[in-house]
Amino acid sequence: AQSVTQPDIHITVSEGASLELRCNYSYGATPYLFWYVQSPGQGLQLLLKYFSGDTLVQGIKGFEAEFKRSQSSFNLRKPSVHWSDAAEYFCAVGAQNNNNDMRFGAGTRLTVKP
């Protein structure tokens, strides 16, 4: 079965600084990859997704992620973080044969310093 590792439990960045959240996946074929964001007390909102094609995908709120097959990674980036980006971020992988059995990483909590 597919699995996801998010190595960083908690990251703190200053407002206006750049951000990169790491995600490594394990899956035998080309996966479906996702990044979701969760604010306190809320459900998860999709930021972006990769199915195939261009390995650099753009998402909402100025986020982007790059799929690197050789490194089994799908890192999330943002050039300039805003205070409203403080939240928990989840990387997820879905199998191509049944993409609704989605496996999530443990999440990375982002704190933004003023």
Chain residues in the site for other proteins (CB under 8 A) = 32, 34, 36, 41-46, 49, 51, 90, 94, 98-107
Q: Which is nearer to other proteins, 23 or 94 (CB)?
A: 94
At closest approach, how far in Å is the CB of 112 from other proteins?
21
Q: Which is nearer to other proteins, 81 or 89 (CB)?
A: 89
At closest approach, how far in Å is the CB of 44 from other proteins?
4
Q: Which is nearer to other proteins, 3 or 84 (CB)?
A: 3
At closest approach, how far in Å is the CB of 23 from other proteins?
14
- The 10 Å CB-count burial string (b at 16+, else e) for 5-33 is ebeeeebebeeeeebebbbbbebeeebbb
Are 74 and 56 contacting, i.e. CB atoms less than 8 angstroms apart?
no
CA triple 85-91-94, angle to 5 deg? 145
Are 10 and 109 contacting, i.e. CB atoms less than 8 angstroms apart?
yes
